[in-house]
Amino acid sequence: MKILLVDDHAVVRQGYASLLRALLPEVLVREACDGEQALQRVQEEIPNLVIMDIGLPGISGLETMRRLRQRLPQLRVLFFSMHDELPLVRQALDAGAIGYLTKSSAPEVLIEAVKRTLAGHAYIEQPLATHLACNPVHQGSADPRLRDMTQREFEIFVMLAKGIPTRMIAEKLCISGKTVSNYMTLLKNKLQVGSQAELVHLAIDTGVLRVGMESA
């Protein structure tokens, strides 16, 4: 069995790779730092499972998955992210991910998710599964202003709603502060809001942001 682990933070990626190698010695773990490298790695050697951060710099995790699955429709992708917003989880599952869990999960949860997805079963972290079950509205029925957002736009929307400064967003996504500002203007126009406060209210009203959620 072969796993490709995709994460742009080297310490995080190498730590999880070491964990997988220690607890699943029968599995060969390869690494990629971003979407471009993931596409190259899969071209060189097809893995049984791709474990990928959804918030990659450059090509987003969702776009990387779409490109991978265009080449290999049966490829299994498990998203492993700091983001737990239900619309993003639904977006990932609707796009074809076999599972989703957060980086706050305990190591044994990650191992269980890997075992189940390698066996061909879907896996959603229990708290997320519970929230999805309690909020069964399909993304297509959500506020129409959110339907046409790209994954990158949605990611920046969430960060802005959480109050994360432009500089930190730029550092996280490896883009310039000016690009973040351009996205902010684009989002305000697309979402028909005139201020940061209105953007936050929209995020709360649509369930994207839960009151009391800590910024990541």
Question: Helices 151-161 and 196-205 sit at what angle, rounded to 10 degrees?
Answer: 110
Confidence of residue 44 (pLDDT cuts 50, 70, 90): very high
Segment 30-49 mean pLDDT: 95
% pLDDT > 90, the chain: 48
54 and 26 belong to one structural domain: yes
**Domain-terminating residue out of 117, 134, 151:** 134
The answer to whether residue 78 is domain-embedded is: yes
Q: What is the pLDDT of residue 142?
A: 54
pLDDT at 138 over 50: no
**Domain-terminating residue out of 134, 155, 185:** 134
Q: What is the CATH number of the domain that holds 121?
A: 3.40.50.2300
> Maximum distance among all alpha carbons in the chain?
54
Question: Which domain covers residue 97, as residue numbers?
Answer: 2-134
Q: What is the pLDDT of residue 139?
A: 43
Report the domain count for the chain. 2
126 and 86 belong to one structural domain: yes
User: 110: burial class by Cβ within 10 Å (0-12, 13-18, 19+)?
Assistant: buried
Confidence of residue 135 (pLDDT cuts 50, 70, 90): low
108 and 81 belong to one structural domain: yes
Phi and psi of 50, rounded to 5°? -110, 125
pTM: 0.70
Q: What is the pLDDT of residue 13?
A: 94
pLDDT at 141 over 60: no
The 3-state DSSP class for residue 17 equals helix
**Which residues touch 173 (CB under 8 Å, ≥6 apart)?**
55, 57, 152, 155, 156, 180
